[in-house]
Amino acid sequence: MHMLINSHKVVLLLLCLEGVSKKFGAVTAVEDVSLQLESGEIFGFLGPNGAGKTTTVRMSVGLLRPDTGRVLVGEYDMTHQPRQAKAQLGYVPDRSMLYPKMTGREHLQFLSLAYQLPAPHGPRIDRWLDIMSLSDAADSRIETYSHGMARRLTWISALIHDPPLLFLDEPTEGLDPASARTAKDLLVHLRERGRSVFLCTHIMELAQSLCDRVGIIADGRLLAVGSPEGLGQMSARGSESLEDVFLELTDSQPPEISSVVDALSGGGEDE
């Protein structure tokens, strides 16, 4: 395990991205991103659409190979020791990747075998189905699930092996308010148990209320990393709001409401 020794404590590094870059043809999706995640922290990864969040996560979980740089999960290099590295992590992708013909329970039994979890698997699976309110649908085929139910099954799939490091890509998308609350409570619980979470989100409130640190990415470049409070103080408007800093840094200021109203009411054009 990588360690950092600062003046107060020994810190375990669960994830190190070292100068990772990725191009798709002429498009530079991620450029020279370096990041570290410690154990027991929730890291929020914020950026506008197309900023490079999903590409960064796909490189971190070993689904895409970086063009340059390297990914370390714990002590394992994702390129050279992918099996050991992947065993350390759970992943909720932006789109669910499930087998439609399996039932939810079969899917979780299959994963329990794949992860070589200690038997019996039944009680652990039942507990998770209960936490995520899927008990009633456990024996129905996944193809009959609503979007929200598939998302909840994806959450269980990412957590059933109790990984030290969890990647979540827009994870509350498609969840109803009760499930979103359960998910949020779960993340706090995981942090208390020393697990780490890498959370891509568009939702500023979630980042502000849940994350210990956030990184802001735009056009593939990491622009700032810090606590939500610390970053909030960078706001040129003096508002101490993470949302304002986000909009300022990513150059995505929304139009003034008066011009929106103008546009909706005909924009002052001749009738």
Ligand X SMILES: Nc1ncnc2c1ncn2[C@@H]1O[C@H](COP(=O)(O)OP(=O)(O)O)[C@@H](O)[C@H]1O
| Interacting residues with ligand X (CB under 6 A) | 24, 27, 29, 47, 49-55
Asked if 71 contacts 79 with a C-beta cutoff of 8 angstroms, the reply is yes
Residue with tokens 């109803």: 176
Partner that binds at residue 124, options ligand X, Mg ion, none, CB closer than 5 to 8 Å by kind = none
The one of ligand X, Mg ion, none whose footprint includes residue 215, by CB under 5 to 8 A per kind, is none
> Can you state the percent helix, strand and coil of the chain, rounding each to 5?
35, 25, 35
What number of chain residues touch Mg ion (CB under 5 A)?
Answer: 2
Q: Does 54 bind Mg ion (CB under 5 A)?
A: yes
52 binds, among Mg ion, ligand X, none (CB under 5 to 8 A by kind): ligand X
Helix residue spans in 133-193 (DSSP H): 147-159, 177-192
Q: Give the torsion sign (CA, 131, 132, 136, 140).
A: negative
Peptide bond before 254: cis, by omega within 30 degrees of 0? no
Rounded least distance, CB 23 to Mg ion, Å: 17
Per the CB < 8 A criterion, the answer to whether 189 and 18 are in contact is no
What distance lies between CA 11 and its chain's CA centroid?
22
Least separation in angstroms between residue 187's CB and ligand X is 20
Query: Which one, 24 or 99, has the nearer CB to ligand X?
Result: 24
29: partner contacted, choices Mg ion, ligand X, none (Cβ within 5-8 A by kind): ligand X
**Which partner, ligand X, Mg ion, none, binds residue 179 by CB below 5 to 8 Å per kind?**
none
Site string for Mg ion, 126-145 (x = CB under 5 A): --------------------
Determine if 60 is a binding residue for Mg ion (CB under 5 A). Answer: no
Establish if 172 lies at the interface with Mg ion (CB under 5 A): no
Cβ proximity to Mg ion, 54 vs 112, nearer residue: 54
**Alpha-carbon distances of 219 from 38, 49, 121, rounded to whole Å:** 25, 9, 44
Closest approach of ligand X to the CB of residue 224, in Å: 16
Q: How far is the CB of 170 from ligand X (least distance, A)?
A: 8
**From residue 145, how far is each of 108, 121, 122 by CA, in Å?**
15, 22, 21
Choosing among Mg ion, ligand X, none, which partner's interface includes residue 55 (Cβ < 5 to 8 Å by kind)? ligand X
Pairing of strands 2-5, 10-24: antiparallel
Name the residue among 184, 189, 220, 181 with its Cα closest to residue 199: 184
Residue nearer to ligand X on the CB measure, 36 or 55: 55
Name the minimum Å distance from CB 166 to ligand X. 17
Per the structure block, which two tokens stand in for 241? 């709001």
Distance of CA 71 to the CA centre of its chain: 16
Q: Kindly state the smallest distance separating residue 45's Cβ from Mg ion, in Å.
A: 10
Q: In angstroms, give the least distance from the CB of 162 to ligand X.
A: 27
Comparing CB distances to Mg ion, the nearer of 54 and 157 is: 54
Residues near Mg ion, by CB under 5 A: 53-54
